[in-house]
Amino acid sequence: MTTHRPSAFAENVPGALADDQLQQALGNIKQGFVAKRARAAGDLPEFEALRDHARDIKDHTLNHLDAYLERYESRVHAQGGQVHWCPTGEDARRAVVDICTRVGAERCTKGKSMVAEEIGLGDALSAAGVTPVETDLGEYILQLRGEPPSHIIAPAIHLNRDQIAEDFRRAHLTLPPQRALDTARALVDEARGTLREHYLAADVGITGANLLVAETGQSVIVTNEGNGDLTQNLPRVHIVVASLEKVVPTLEDASTILRVLARSATGQEVTVYTTFSAGPRRPDDPDGPEEFHVVLLDNGRTGMLGTEFQEMLRCIKCGACMNHCPVYTAVGGHAYGATYVGPMGAVLTPALQGVEEAGHLPNASTFCGRCEAVCPVRIPLPGLMRRWREREFERHLTPLPVRSGLRVWAFAALRPRLYRLAMRAPLRVLGWLGRRRGRFGWLPLASGWTNHRELPAPAGRSFMDRWRAEGRDDT
Amino acid sequence: MAAEGPRVALFATCLVDLFRPSVGFAAVKLLRAAGCRVHVPRAQTCCGQPAYNSGDREDAKRIALQVIEAFEDADYVVVPSGSCGGTIACHYPGLFADDPDLAARARALAECTHELVSFLVDVMGVSEVTARHPATATYHDACAGLRELGVKGQARTLLDTVAGLNVRELPDSEVCCGFGGTFCVKYPDISNAMVADKVDAIVSTEADTLLAGDLGCLMNIAGKLQRRGSRVAVRHVAEVLAGEPEAPPIGEAGELS
């Protein structure tokens, strides 16, 4: 129903607004994520100071990104792992597929990774004859449905329990058809049982990374299901797929980021599982993979360094901006037609896919500022969306009627006497026409407004004209 | 008014100028009652926000410069809108980042620019008004005033002193009403969904009056309430604080002024 292209945003909106089931699911975000984040932030007196600290850590790292990435790489090497530098999504897909082919992998398990979504890794693996199985419950459900995530931390937030039960009945054909699937517990147990076999059979485990720690060469993932641990510990090969701005200098820095991440994302003090991995299994380790690889993706990010969009690279992918966004919670994630959705997606997607393709996303905002108010690393999201609008305007991508309308309006606004003269007659006419009802149900050229609401009639005479006639400046 | 009171330049805003002069007159009345000397510079039209938020930075700069020139002599610039006030106070300096002289003038103007109600309370120390307005009202926190300028408790503090007025908190009062300037006509369906939620919240309070400090939001909310057939009266908070509003509620019929 929705088209997975950012340029299809406006076409996707009516369907999303008319989808009652989706609207009900989106309504839960307010009581869920928003209320929990507010509570968690309120419970920690130093939360605002922590946000400043997290912002400063990310800024410092981005300003010395090359140095920290090289340090990270050398630590990974020292621990027996390999780092694959990938300028593009194609490079990253090839790096993962090459490893899988070399080790003769037929099956792989996959933890939740937005970077894997960004580069279309699942399809690339399938095409290469490696069957990927998503192990995050939400991602697993979406894999059964053939849908992309609609939220960066709660990928299946757009679905309800009945839909998931139907998917499970369709997919798990060896289980008794009459089994009860009417509780979340039953669904989780069934997914767990099914996934257990996949964990044991997988040759390769692929995870994302919430953080890369330069001083220790560790990658860090946070989950609430524990699927990440089973994905990375049981198979022979562990591949971490991460974008390069995930690096932080020290373990201490990582802990600061984790403290704001969990609270901002789910309102937890700490996620249920926080897993640090560093290299393949050592001789004395009880378990762990034989090979450890980090596929480090750029895909346009270093091109944002040193530009007005660098601040976007502070993002720690908590999802708070979308949970608090009145546009996201009105239409859901699929309408965006992009991997990254909500306010952070509205800034990042034009950087990754071009503003020609993704121009709708930074325009579909009222600049209400709620996203910036909750962002744990204080990214000025509305300001960056405005920057994309400026890039559009400079490149004449802004629709012609808007451009010419602005030009005429600005010409008048810069000539106060002309402006006043030009407004006088229309105000008189509209004031007279609207005198009986005080408003209009319809006006030519105003249907964008009047299709959904009445337009209050102007008073007939401007404040400036009346002030000149009746008012008096104090001296 | 005190002869030695601060000189306040009123920036009426384009929507108040064209649609609702009563807000401008209410602002003047409140400022004078607080001891300010008020003047209304002639060379004002708009703060430039429509150009600025549409990516037209050059026109935004030209309009900002016009505002700077017309207003920089005042002790304070006061705006009956958090949105337009926020544009001057938070965004003008950034527009001139590449010109140190203009940036300094923009910063100076930014520092003396205030939204009306927060100016009365925070700068002039007003703690009560003498108005009377028998009604049960609820109050919407317009986004830019709330998040750019920190306007939150000031309006409630003054509304509590209006005789006959009972104020009920609005659920989700800090959530955007869906106006967003050009947003409401660029993405009308999303804007409609947002204002529909806002109207549901207003109706749930059973208040008979909705107040806010930004005319754009008020026109959006009034228009939606009226399309639904609701009888809730919508007014700018300044009209109620100034007392005896001359105009009928927004979007209602009354005397042609």
**The pLDDT of residue B255:** 57
Residues of B in contact with A392 (CB under 8 A): 55
What average pLDDT score do residues A288-304 get? Answer: 97
How much is the CA Rg of chain A, to the nearest whole Å?
26
**The pLDDT of residue B3:** 67
| Domain B7-122, CATH | 3.40.50
* pLDDT for residue A157 is more than 90: yes
ipTM for the assembly: 0.97
| B223/A13 Cβ within 8 A | no
Closest chain B residue by Cα to residue A439 = B251
| B257/A365 Cβ within 8 A | no
| Residues B68-79: tens digit of each pLDDT | 999 999 999 999
Among B4, B14, B176, the strongest candidate for a mutation testing the A interface, having the largest count of A CBs within 10 A, is B176
* pLDDT for residue A31 is more than 90: no
The order of strands in the sheet holding A82-86 is: A82-86, A291-297, A237-243, A204-207, A107-110, A131-134
Strand A204-207 relative to strand A237-243, pairing: parallel
| Residues B79-119: tens digit of each pLDDT | 999 999 999 999 999 999 999 999 999 999 999 999 999 99
Residues of A in contact with B56 (CB under 8 A): 393, 406, 410
Q: Pick from A340, A360, A265: which is nearest to A300 by CA? A: A340
| Domain B127-242, CATH | 3.40.50.11810
Residues of B in contact with A457 (CB under 8 A): 251
Closest chain A residue by Cα to residue B249 = A438
Average pLDDT, chain A: 96
* pLDDT for residue B257 is more than 70: no
Percent of the residues in chain B that have a pLDDT greater than 90, as a whole number: 96
Q: What share of chain B is helix, strand, coil (3-state, %, to 5)?
A: 50, 15, 35
A470 burial via Cβ count (<10 Å: 0-12, 13-18, 19+):
exposed
| Residues A65-81: tens digit of each pLDDT | 999 999 999 999 999 99
Percent of the residues in chain A that have a pLDDT greater than 70, as a whole number: 100
- The domains of chain B are located at 7-122, 127-242
Interface contact B175, partner A, CB < 8 A: yes
| Residues B207-218: tens digit of each pLDDT | 999 999 999 999
Among B176, B185, B193, whose Cβ lies nearest the Cβ of A449? B185
What average pLDDT score do residues B199-206 get? Answer: 98
Distance CA B71, CA B44 (A): 9
Cα distance between the two ends of chain A:
65
* pLDDT for residue B165 is more than 70: yes
Is residue B196 very low, low, confident or very high in pLDDT (cuts 50, 70, 90)?
Answer: very high
Closest chain A residue by Cα to residue B225 = A453
| B251/A439 Cβ within 8 A | yes
Pull the structure tokens for residue B81.
Answer: 């809108």
Average pLDDT, chain B: 96
**The pLDDT of residue B57:** 97
Closest-CA distance, B189 to chain A, in angstroms, reads 7
Pull the structure tokens for residue A32.
Answer: 């869920």
Distance CA A441, CA A452 (A): 9
The model's pTM is: 0.96
Fold of A63-302: Rossmann fold (3.40.50)
Among B54, B147, B223, whose Cβ lies nearest the Cβ of A406? B54
Is residue B2 very low, low, confident or very high in pLDDT (cuts 50, 70, 90)?
Answer: low
* pLDDT for residue A90 is more than 90: yes
* pLDDT for residue B1 is more than 70: no
Please say whether the beta carbons of A99 and A90 come within 8 A.
no
| B189/A438 Cβ within 8 A | no
Please say whether the beta carbons of B146 and B82 come within 8 A.
yes
CATH 3.40.50.10420 range(s) for chain A read 63-302
Percent of the residues in chain A that have a pLDDT greater than 90, as a whole number: 95
